[in-house]
Amino acid sequence: MKINSIFISNFRSLSDFSINLPQKLLIKGKTGSGKTSILESCFVVSSGRSFKTFDIKDCISKDSQNFYIESDFDDFENYSRKVSVAYDRKGNKKIIIDGNVSSRKDLLSIAYPVVHSPEDMFIITGSPKFRRDFIDRICFVEDKSYFDDMSEYIKYIRNKNAALKDKNAEVVKYLNAAAAPLIDRIRKKRNVSCETINKKVSVLLEKLFSGMKVFFTYNIDENYAEKLESRLEKELEKGFSLYGPHLDNINITTEVGNAKNNISMGETYITSFLIKLAELSIYAEKNEFPIFLIDDIFVFVDDETKKTLFKEIEVLKNQIIMSSSIENLNNFNNIEVFYLSR
């Protein structure tokens, strides 16, 4: 996948902004100049979502009612596509692919990005939700039907919470029984994905940072039907679901030398970045090369580590769009630099 050009209107601080995007690009500029907004718009137009906010309406410029992003890109089959994404303040969205009104699922069938930003360090240090979200992306890489599984599960939770709010125990029991095979399927796919990403990260660590260890663990309840039943009374009292894959605990263990789960900010950044490189390697096995967006590249790490990581991404087949206010790339001729003066 490669985004060839993008037009951005009323998105954050960007209005009527367009740029052609080469295979590898570093966007430089002062804080607040819009570097991250360019990367975010690339993410939105190739996924239908933002990596900076859960409420995409936050991306609309202050004095505007909607934003609009249009791009020309080559999909994974190397076909030329034209995609536009628009959202308004009422929450209405419109995704157009080659002139046809489409869905986010349609978009993800031809394009999907991988992003790394400083916030991705929360995969290491944050709550289990950050790790669930990451492992769910790996599940999607491994099996595109996982998108449908999660969409179905979200509908189940919404219906269950509505029934719990109404204190309708019989409906809740029916929904739980109907969802049991779905829960089993989601958890098995997550478990496999944890094993897959652990293997990929291990290979990268051995190659680049020998002495570091990183691995995900996911403990699955075998008797989840009994757990659903045993929590029913408490759920009826609370009025919302208290158990299921949306609350599962996925742990991550990190180790540098003899120090476990007590690593520096720089080591945390390196770890989260290597996890994203591992994600890209899973795609590469399928001969798929999503655009790789890197916001505030290599902040928190020393110069020697930067050189190691730059060499690693320089040889990737993926299109790579990076942002930084400080980096100089004198030794990397394959990476173009664009200065954003705003």
How many CB atoms neighbour CB 154 within 10 A? 11
**Domains present along the chain, CATH in parentheses:** 1-113+290-342 (3.40.50.300), 121-286 (1.20.1050.90)
Q: Are 123 and 272 in contact (CB under 8 A)?
A: yes
SS3 string, the chain, reads CEEEEEEEECECCECCEEEECCCEEEEECCCCCCHHHHHHHHHHHHHCCCCCCCCHHHHECCCCCEEEEEEEEECCCCCEEEEEEEEECCCCEEEEECCEEECHHHHHCCCCCEEECHHHHHHHHCCHHHHHHHHHHHHHHHCCCHHHHHHHHHHHHHHHHHHHHCCCHHHHHHHHHHHHHHHHHHHHHHHHHHHHHHHHHHHHHHHHCCCEEEEEEECCCCCHHHHHHHCHHHHHHHCCCCCCHHHCCEEEEEEECCEECCCCHHHHHHHHHHHHHHHHHHHHHCCCCCCEEECCCCCCCCHHHHHHHHHHHHCCCCCEEEEECCCCCCCCCCCEEEECCC
The CA–CA distances, whole Å, from 104 to 8, 49, 94, 107, 110 equal 19, 9, 9, 5, 10
CA-CA distance, 298 to 300, in Å (whole number)? Answer: 6
> What is the structure's pLDDT at 260?
60
pTM score: 0.92
Residue type, 11: F
Q: Which amino acid is at 312?
A: E
Q: Which pLDDT does position 219 carry in this prediction?
A: 84
Per-10-residue mean pLDDT for the chain, 342 residues long?
97 95 93 93 96 94 96 94 97 96 94 94 94 96 93 97 97 95 95 96 92 89 85 96 95 77 85 96 94 93 88 92 80 81 71
